Structure 1
Amino acid sequence: MSRIRINSIEIMNYRSFGDSQDFVFPNADYKKPIAIVGYNNTGKTNLMNSILFALQVNFVSKDTFTINDFHNRNIDNVPGILLNAISSVETKFDGVKQANLTGHHFLNILTDGDVIEGSSIKSLNSFELNEYGKEDLNYQAFGATRYFNIFYINFHNIKEEIVTQKTSWGNLKSFLGKHIQKIVETDVSMAEKKERFEQRVNRSTKKVLEDSNLEKFIDLIRKNYVTNLRNDDCTVDFGLPNYEDIFLKMMFKIGLNGDKDNLVPIDHFGDGYISMFVMAVIQAIAESNTDDRCLFLFEEPESFLHENHQEYFYKTVLCGLSEKGHQVIYTTHSDKMIDPFDTKGLIRLEMDEKNQTVKKYNNVAEFNYEEVDEDTGEVINYSRYNEFIKTIEPNLNRMLFSRKVILVEGPNDVLVYKYAIKQKVLQFIADDATIENKEQYADAYMNFENISIVCHHGKGTANYLIELCKHFSIDYFVINDWDFDEADLLISEVAGFSTLADLKADTIYIASDKKAMITTNWNLINASGIDNIHFNVKKLETVIGYSSIDKSSIAIWELLNSGSFEFDEQLFPEKLETFIGLRNDKEAEELEEE
């Protein structure tokens, strides 16, 4: 039984990766796929390519890397990749030598300070020197990749992944072609039939060509070729490819709706249809390798699929492979391709202020949240299913794919703050002559900056979402109603207590008939941190001057667009401007000093 699994990988100075980032993968007990998420250009593909290079799925030679692969295109930033894997020991095709990928595989690039002199992958059994005082090289790793079931599929180029013919260099690029070739080379039953098959094919070919115009045409070619070669008595044969290549010249054909007579080559269909065919191929590979433990590496498998099929692919194919013990690692932009309640297999990437890829989340431990609801005494869980469906389930996915999150209380808060942010952006860019369509720029500002506004529908849920933001290292800003008039209770009074016990011992709590509300507000301040939260006093409607109690979104929208609406620090604090990038850190520091 062949077995291959990645334990960890460390990357530095490779393309978008600058400072060293290390990633740990769950062990074999974890029966779920591993998703690499992040917005565009955060390094997902670079992480995937690092795995492919380290395992030599993508062959590494002297000319593999150029200056474009060095971080910031700086020759001093030599790329480094270190992968740790565990595998079985397999006997090679010669029946003598052994293949073994257990150990450490690292990229070794040599430069003279000006040019790249060479690159290779070194494999070590351990980092300790061997008994001879030399590197403990794992010689069994050289050329070992082909003896294990490692499948890489780039769903962006799905049609290329089903092309089984060799390139002009005699190489196979598609995962399907490589797998078919491996089956042909290792199938004992087919090998026994090879000679008989070739004899029958030759007899049949000669019989068909006999006394035909094609045979006469081939004879004329031979006669002229012999003359051109100065009467070299050569042989010209027109027949099928070599036995091993015959199966790579074949193609899959599909008959729709039970039609067996009108078969259409699979590459004539659309990309989405081909993606579903590739699903079936992947499933067949897993079903035919019941004793093996494979490694599947996928680049954005949701490409070309409707969201219902994305979820189907995740639950049926990706989870199905993992449940059988295979390791599945894939990049994705789709919230349909992850399990928001099981994130041990989640890796989240971002770009930091130095414009380099950083690991924002990679935690194989359980996520525990112990906040207890004041009214029910329950931890927020599936027993409060309505709250989950309304708030946590959809928003968690959005949060994972965002760089920053603004948590607001209700739908009208979303309405007002989207409007206010647009107006702030328009003010910010008013004198910027480089922006031609300022209205469009302001409309798309939050999308471009990858900032989401999430409606949490309640302070208890807000606490939970704050903890999730902390858990996944997502930058957040919270906006809530204070629910007290300023004359009754100041925010600074509640925020000044370091513990809830101290607050409850104070007269502002003891004398109040709204103790639960005070506790809720303190919990929210404590969870978020005072710099990450803004309260509207007494509530949003009070701050924007909406006097009706109906909370009509249409009426509020009309108020916003009335021409007389203005907003100030009470609605839009300077720390929110800083959070969304309309005020730089230096300006924020100067304001704090003032």
Structure 2
Amino acid sequence: MSELRIKKLMIANYRSFKERVVFNFPNNDYLKPISIIGYNNSGKTNMLNAILYSIGYKYTTKETFTINDFYNRQIDNVPNIGILLESSIENKFDGRQANLNGYQQLEIQIDGIEIEGAKFKSLDPTGQHENWQSFGALKYYNVFYINFHNIKEEIKTKKTSWGNLSTFLAKHIHKLVETDSILVDKKVEFDRQTKEATENVLRDSLLQSFIEKIRFNYSTNLRNNDCHVEFGLPNYEDIFLQMLFKIGLNGNSENLIPIEQFGDGFISMFVMAVIQAIAETNTEDKCIFLFEEPESFLHENHQEYFYKMVLCPLANKGHQVIYTTHSDKMIDIFDTKSIIRLEFDENEKRTVCKYNNTEEEPNFENIVQINNFNSYIKSIEPNLNKILFSRKVILVEGPNDLLCYTHAFEKTIYEITGDYNFSKAYLNFRNISILPHHGKATALYLLKLCKHFGLDYFLINDLDMEIDIIEELNNFGEITELQESDLYLLDEFENRNSTSKGIITTNFNLLKSAGIEKIHFNIPKLEGVIGYESNDKNSLNIWNRLQEIEVFGIDFLPESLTSFLELDSITEIADL
């Protein structure tokens, strides 16, 4: 039984990666697929490529890397990729042993101007001694890589013009043909029968005469060198790579259609079945499966189906499953050991790891308790994608807050740029999401998620009090200290009622959870700040009131919020 598993990955100066980033992967007793998430251009594909090179799936030579692979395209930023593997020890065909236990470390030689050489050096688990058993070892383990962006390419089984096998399906079929004793035993008889059948079909035919003329002319062209020309089937091992998968729809076995003629979604479902079949036939081996955005071409329901019926069962069988994704349907938010979250730091212009924790087991049970299920369905579940795949998140209290702040942002940006479409798309351009939390209790849950995944956030809430007590609240360190104070106990020299105490407590919890620079309170409420005197929550009337406002003041758009929105950079963008 062969077994191969990634324990640790190190990347520096490779494409979008600058400073050394170390990724840890859970132990082999962790039976969940590992998702690499992040918004567009955050570095997910670069990370997956680093894995493919370091385990030897993609071969490394002097020509493998170019200046484009060096961070910031500077020759001094030499890519540094290393991986720590854990493997079984396998017997090679020549009696030697294959062993990938230890480190694979990229070594690139440069002369100061160009690349002179590149290779991966293998070291034992201590990192002190070279591991000579790693040479040519990968073929004795099972690694499957599928790029779902090129799904039609992934089902091709023919060799390339260089005689190589480029897809996971071709490699797996070739391995089955090579190692299956039943197929090997039938080779001689198959060759005899096919040769005999071909000769019988061609005998006395125009095609045979045509082939004979080719042979005669070819021999003449070779200066009468007597040569044999045969027109027949490929070699036994290659025949299976020339075959096609054909599909009969609705049980029709007569009119079959090659699988490559179908659409990308249909082919994705076929590849799904291939992956399942590989897992079902590899009952002893522990494989590595690497997938690039498997949700491509799948609708949400099938994305979730793929996660639950393919990825999770693969991992549950002991295989290591690592994949990149943009879909919240293909992650487990309540088991975040399975999540690696990347971001691209806009200031330092490099990929950073915002979340990768294989030790801590966060407790999100309070989010999904049945008594909080309403809050979860309204605020957490619909916004999961925005939380995980945005660069920043603005949390507002409700639908009318969303309406008002979206309008205020667009109006402010339009006044700077004069570009209507850009003002509408600015938040998308900056990858900033704005979403309602529908309640202060739920806001605390959302804040917890944002902080857990290292997501930058800003919280906007109603204070629900007539006087500004924010600075005073912030001066208290603990809730017990607050509850012993006059601010909490008294309201204009009278005992404060329980409702008012509850409001103060909630605001204190929000303030301390978010941090004073990351929160804004509308005093007393949103409606009062924008000058809407009614409390009817009528969105149309509020919208009409917004049209009357020429300038939004700092009581509505504080400097901390405009800074969070990076409005100071808009002029530079507009000039471009």
Once residues 11 and 406 of structure 2 are traced to their aligned partners in structure 1, the CA distance between those partners, rounded to angstroms, is: 38
Q: Does 1:502 align with 2:495?
A: no
1:483 paired residue number = 464
| Equivalent residues of 1:123, 1:139 under 8 A apart | yes
Q: What residue is the counterpart of 1:387 in the other structure?
A: 375
Query: In 1, distance between residues paired with 2:549 and 2:387?
Result: 34
Q: CA deviation at 1:379?
A: 4.1
C-alpha separation between the residues in 2 aligned to 1:442 and 1:468?
29
What SS class does the counterpart of residue 583 from structure 1 fall into?
Answer: helix
- Aligned: 1:154 with 2:147: yes
Distance 1:549 1:582 in 2: 32
Task: Give CA deviations for 1:25-74 in whole Å, capped at 9, x if unaligned.
Answer: 11112211111111111110000000000011000011111111000000
- Following TM superposition, by how much is the alpha carbon of 1:564 offset from its aligned partner in structure 2, in angstroms? 4.2
Distance 1:108 1:382 in 2: 51
2:115 aligns with: 116
The residue aligned with 1:520 is 506
The whole-number CA distance in structure 2 between the counterparts of 1:310 and 1:469 is: 24
Give per-residue Cα distances to partners, 1:362-394, cap 9 Å, x unaligned: 112344359xxxxxxx94442221111111222
User: For residues 137-179 of structure 1, what are the alpha-carbon distances to aligned partners after superposition, in whole Å with 9 as ceiling and x for unaligned?
Assistant: 1111111111111000001111111111111110111111111
Find the residue that maps to 1:77 and give its secondary structure.
coil
Q: Please tell me the root mean square deviation across aligned C-alpha atoms, in Å.
A: 1.5
Structure 2 equivalent of residue 93 of structure 1:
93
Q: Indicate if the aligned counterparts of 2:246 and 2:258 stay in contact, CA closer than 8 A.
A: yes
How far the C-alpha of 1:452 sits from its partner, in A, is 0.7
Contact 2:293 2:323 in 1 (8 A): yes
Identify the match of residue 196 of structure 1 among 189, 202, 205: 189
Alignment partner, residue 544 of structure 1: 530
Given that 1:54 and 1:83 are in contact with CA atoms closer than 8 Å, whether structure 2 keeps it comes out as yes
Name the counterpart of 2:574.
Answer: none
Q: Describe the SS at the equivalent of 2:112.
A: coil
Secondary structure of the corresponding residue to residue 273 of structure 1: helix
Q: CA deviation at 1:550?
A: 1.3
Q: TM-score, normalised by structure 2?
A: 0.95
Match of 1:428 among 416, 422, 439: 416
- Give the 3-state SS of the residue equivalent to 1:159 in structure 2: helix
1:574 alignment counterpart: 559
- TM-score, normalised to structure 1's length? 0.92
- Asked if 1:415 is matched to 2:409, the reply is no
Alpha-carbon offset, residue 223 of structure 1:
1.4
AA at the equivalent of 1:392: I
Q: CA deviation at 1:311?
A: 1.0
CA distance in 2, matches of 1:379, 1:279: 35
C-alpha offsets along residues 392-418 of structure 1, whole Å, 9 cap, x if unaligned?
222233201010011111111111111
Aligned equivalents of 2:538, 2:280: Cα separation in 1: 56
Deviation of 1:565 after TM superposition, in Å, equals 5.0
Given candidates 267, 278, 281, the residue that maps to 1:285 is 278
Percent of pairs with identical residues: 58
1:453-476 Cα offsets, whole Å, 9 max, x none, are 121111111112112111111001
Structure-1 separation of matches of 2:92 and 2:244: 29
Structure 1 residue 576, shift from structure 2 partner:
0.2
* Compared CA separation, residues 506 and 369, structure 1 to 2 (3 A): farther
Match of 2:515 in 1: 529
Question: How far is the alpha carbon of 1:583 from its aligned partner?
Answer: 3.1
Aligned residues of 2:335 and 2:362 also touching (Cα < 8 A): no
Q: CA deviation at 1:191?
A: 0.7
Say which of 350, 359, 364 aligns to 1:365.
359
Amino acid at match of 1:474: L
Query: How far, CA to CA, are the matches of 1:505 and 1:228 in structure 2?
Result: 105
How far is the alpha carbon of 1:128 from its aligned partner?
4.9
Q: How does 1:117-516 map to 2 (within 5 A)?
A: 117-129=116-128, 136-352=129-345, 353-368=347-362, 379-383=366-370, 384-430=372-418, 438-486=419-467, 490-511=469-490, 512-513=496-497, 514-516=500-502
Partner of 2:306, secondary structure, is helix
The CA deviation at 1:127 is 4.3
Cα 1:227–1:527, aligned 2, differ >3 Å: closer, same or farther? same
Q: In terms of mean alpha carbon deviation, does 280-289 or 138-147 score higher? A: 138-147
Secondary structure of the 2:567 match is: coil
* Residues 148 and 291 in structure 2, CA contact (< 8 A), matched pair in contact too: yes
Question: For the residues of structure 2 that align with 1:503 and 1:413, how far apart are their CA atoms?
Answer: 29
Cα separation, 2, equivalents of 1:298 and 1:39: 17
Aligned residues: 561
Q: Deviations over 1:427-483 (max 9, x none)?
A: 3335xxxxxxx1000100001111111211111111121121111110010100000
Residue 584 of structure 1 deviates from its aligned partner by 6.5
- Could you say which residue in structure 2 is the equivalent of 1:588? none
Looking at structure 1, the residues matched to 214 and 368 of structure 2 have their Cα atoms a distance apart, in angstroms, of: 79
Q: Which moved more, 1:494-503 or 1:320-329?
A: 494-503
Distance 1:308 1:509 in 2: 50
Query: Is the Cα–Cα contact under 8 Å of residues 367 and 373 in structure 2 kept in the other structure?
Result: no
Bigger CA drift: 190-199 or 575-584? Answer: 575-584
- Provide the C-alpha distance between the structure 2 equivalents of 1:128 and 1:22, rounded to a whole number of angstroms: 16
Which amino acid is 2:40 matched to?
A: N
Deviation digits for residues 468-508 of structure 1, max 9, x if unmatched?
Answer: 1111110010100000001xx52222222122111111112
Letter of the structure 1 residue corresponding to residue 37 of structure 2: V
**Structure 1 residues 584 and 441, CA gap change in structure 2 (3 angstroms):** closer
Task: List alignment gaps of at least 5 residues for structure 2.
Answer: 491-495, 571-576
Q: Distance in 1 between matches of 2:206 and 2:427?
A: 71
Distance 1:66 1:424 in 2: 44
Between the aligned partners of 2:521 and 2:502, the Cα distance in structure 1 is 17
Is 1:41 the equivalent of 2:41? Answer: yes
CA distance in 2, matches of 1:557, 1:77: 53
Contact 2:395 2:437 in 1 (8 A): yes
SS in 2 for 1:158: helix
Answer whether contact 1:2 1:87 (CA < 8 A) is retained: yes
Distance 2:15 2:139 in 1: 27
